Amino acid sequence: MPSVEGVGARRAALQILDAVLRRGQTIDAAAGTVRGLSPPDHALAVAIAGETLRRMPDLDALIDGATRQRLPDDSKARMVLRLALAQKAGLGTPDHALVSTALPLVDGGPRRLVHGVLGTLLRRGVPAMDAPHLPAEVERRWSEAWGDDVVEAARRQIAKRPPLDLTFADEADARAFDGLSLAPKHVRVESQSVAELPGFAEGRWWVQDLAASLPARLIPAEANQVLDLAAAPGGKTMQLAAAGHDVTAVDSSGSRLQRLKENLERTHLKAKLVEADALKWEPRRQFDAVLLDAPCSATGTFRRHPEALYRARPRIIAESAELQGRLLDRAAEWLKPGDTLVYSVCSLEPPEGEQVVTAFLDRHPGFRIDGPTDLPGFVTPSPEGWVRILPDVLEAEGGLDGFFMARLVRHG
Ligand SMILES: C[S@@+](CC[C@H](N)C(=O)[O-])C[C@H]1O[C@@H](n2cnc3c(N)ncnc32)[C@H](O)[C@@H]1O
């Protein structure tokens, strides 16, 4: 049988979805193992998998409403139906194209069932899903932690394509750039085609969510030697180097450090790079400040990485929190009185943010929180002095990644 055009991309999307849901991989990692597709088909496969993960609870509700048969969560029929409906809701794919590319994926299997359910749903009409549900466990967790309004904001955000935030090395270049500036050295643009924006090849800016640019802004200007711990791919390293600090960047991942090196080369910025496990590494110099942007569940990046919501099971969050506490303890050993320790995570889970810092302060009475007064106006520090960025912050301007950060100072 001749292959139908576009089936390869759908087959790859199925492979990616399976790797994310069953093996806990990221979309990027799963997409990296897909071979033999043209770049446009590869991009289409990633887009279909992403749109599916943005809307999965709503897609499942539609599927369940169109058949009396209970399709197991990881059955091929359900997976293929999810992919087909996500194309309708998220990508505007015409009905005939999504049917003709779905059916070959279930050849020799539940083809009639898939055809029947799809036909029923397309006749009924697939709703736009402008505020799709998050996975039920995440909605419960975030509702308890942040309230229903924040969950609603997150539901609106996950359906949209986030804007592109650029961080500039030089404030004068940022001011000359066409876009919305929400902080010094920051410009927000709609365009997603990074390499075509002016100044890319010259290395005047790098892509960095506005929330992710806040932790480095907490490092005191007068700190000379700054340690960027868990540094790759280096958005914060570049900010620190551009601000004039003498930066040492440590990361345990060689491949991610290689990206950091390339980023520094493109932006003509300098930092000392060290490949090491921070839990074992012994620094040879003294630092005036440490920035620990710790590994985490990354649930705050759900707009670009919706799979994070499925990977962040309570056990993963608890393991992350344990590692974050150990990394903080390690960093604390290297600081003298008067020095600063900034802790941040791109997570919306209190056990990785507020609770890690509270437990750290209990273990280290020589540290206290130094609440920031120098961040952009849209940031409101909590009464404790830390900063929590939720999905409803600057929503009308396109929103921000979810983040937590705290500036700690050693006083004894
Ligand atoms: C959130 S990412 C850092 C992002 C980076 N700060 C930036 O702004 O581009 C966390 C990093 O921690 C690194 N990492 C994880 N465990 C580590 C460890 N034990 N020692 C050093 N780095 C570690 C990971 O390789 C990853 O690059």
Preceding omega of 233 cis (within 30 degrees of 0):
yes
- With a 6 A CB cut-off, is 58 part of the ligand 1 pocket? no
Mean pLDDT for the chain overall? 96
* Residue that the structure tokens 């995570």 belong to: 345
Identify which of 155, 133, 145 has the alpha carbon closest to the alpha carbon of residue 59.
133
CB of 295 sitting under 6 A from ligand 1: yes
Q: Which atom of ligand 1 is found nearest the CA of 279?
A: 19
Q: What is the 3-state composition of the chain as percent helix, strand, coil, each rounded to the nearest 5? A: 45, 15, 40
Judging by DSSP bridges, how do beta strands 272-275 and 340-345 pair with one another?
Answer: unpaired
| Atom number in ligand 1 closest to CA 293 | 6
Question: CA-to-CA distance for 87 and 98, rounded, in angstroms?
Answer: 7
- Single-letter amino acid, residue 92: G
CA dihedral 49, 54, 60, 63 (to 10 degrees): -70
Q: Is the Cβ atom of 111 under 6 angstroms away from ligand 1?
A: no
Task: Note the pLDDT of residue 4.
Answer: 80
- In one-letter notation, the amino acid at residue 15 is Q
Q: Is the pLDDT of residue 192 over 80?
A: no
Best mutation site among 28, 240, 253 for ligand 1 pocket (most ligand atoms within 8 Å of CB): 253
**Closest Cα partner for 249 from 226, 218, 277?**
226
Mean pLDDT for the stretch of residues 357-386: 96
CB–CB of 276/204 below 8 Å? no
The structure tokens 């440490």 sit at: 290
pLDDT reported for residue 89: 94
For residue 191, what pLDDT is reported? 73
- CA nearest ligand 1 atom 14, residue: 230
Residue nearest to atom 25 of ligand 1 (CA): 253
Ligand 1 atom nearest residue 212's Cα: 8
Ligand 1 atom having least distance to the Cα of 256: 27
Q: Which residues are part of the catalytic machinery?
A: 346
% of the chain beyond a pLDDT of 70: 100
pLDDT at residue 28 is higher than 60? yes
Give 2's pLDDT tier (boundaries 50, 70, 90).
low
Q: Which of 26, 210, 251 maximizes ligand 1 atoms within 8 Å of its Cβ, making it the mutation to test the pocket?
A: 251
Q: Give the whole-angstrom CA distance, residue 23 versus residue 42.
A: 20
Predicted confidence at residue 161, as pLDDT, reads: 87
Q: Could you tell me which residues are beta bridge partners of residue 164?
A: 189
258 lines ligand 1 (CB under 6 A): no
Mean pLDDT of 225-231: 98
Query: Span 234-247, mean pLDDT?
Result: 98
- Does any ligand 1 atom lie closer than 6 A to the CB of residue 322? no
pLDDT at 315 over 60: yes
Q: In angstroms, what is the span from residue 336 Cα to ligand 1's centroid?
A: 24
Residue 231 CA, ligand 1 centroid: distance in Å: 5
| Tens-place pLDDT, residues 120-164 | 999 999 998 999 999 999 999 999 999 999 999 999 999 998 999
Per-residue buried b or exposed e for 316-341, using 16+ beta carbons within 10 Å of the residue's own CB: bbeebbebbbebbebbbebbeeebbb
Separation of CA 317 and ligand 1 centre (Å) = 16
Q: How far is CA 342 from CA 168, 233, 298, 323, 332, in A?
A: 21, 18, 18, 16, 10
Separation of CA 190 and ligand 1 centre (Å): 28
Going by alpha carbons, the residue nearest to atom 10 of ligand 1 is 295
Q: Which one, of 333, 357, 342, 366, lies nearest residue 226 by Cα?
A: 342
283 lines ligand 1 (CB under 6 A): no
What is the separation of C-alpha 283 from the centre of its chain, rounded to a whole number of angstroms? 30
Q: Give the Å distance between the CA of 241 and the centre of ligand 1.
A: 18
Q: What is the pLDDT of residues 348-359, one digit of tens each?
A: 999 999 999 999
Mean pLDDT of 41-69: 97
Q: Is 352 in the pocket of ligand 1 (CB under 6 A)?
A: no
Ligand 1 center–CA 252 separation, angstroms: 7
